[in-house]
Amino acid sequence: MTEPPAIVVPRALVEAISAHAREAQPGECCGLVGGVGGAARSVYRLRNVARDPLNAYEGAPQELFDAQRLMRERGEKLVAIYHSHPRAGDPVPSESDVRAAYYPAAVHFIIGLAGDAPTLRAFRLFEGEGRWERVEYAVAGE
């Protein structure tokens, strides 16, 4: 028996994440996904304020705070964190991605832009263990 997907994301949200990633090139984009249970409802773009935005991401602290407040007001919880790897075709978490995984319950989406079309992958990151695993997600509206 196969496990259900960790998260279900509407096609419009996948497209919003892809658009954000393309706009941020050559740097990495980052943001949050709010939802209820395993159903994503909203994308919250964050400005990447990392010292080296070409190779890392760090959400602007005030924007991160504001997004989480808006999620609470909408009755949502943080279900995913996303960022891009502009030079990857089949993205996987970097060591720094795993070290900075402070929200273990959240799915981590990484979108790669190096192929013919953006490639979105989902992961669970285990910062304390220094490891990651791929998780299944579903796109609603396909």
- Classify strands 7-10 and 137-140 as parallel, antiparallel or unpaired: parallel
33 touches 80 (CB < 8 A): yes
pTM of the model: 0.94
The three-class DSSP label of residue 43 is strand
Q: What is the DSSP letter of 57?
A: -
Please give the pLDDT value at position 5: 81
**Residue 40 near residue 13 (C-beta atoms within 8 A):** yes
Residue type for position 40 = A
- Domains of the chain as residue ranges with CATH: 7-140 (3.40.140.10)
pLDDT tens figures, 96-115: 999 988 888 899 999 999 98
Question: Token pair for residue 105?
Answer: 């319950």
pLDDT given for residue 115 in this prediction: 82
Q: Could you tell me which of 48, 27, 26, 44 has the C-alpha nearest to residue 35?
A: 44
**pLDDT tens digits, residue range 10-56?**
999 999 999 999 999 999 999 999 999 899 999 999 999 999 999 99
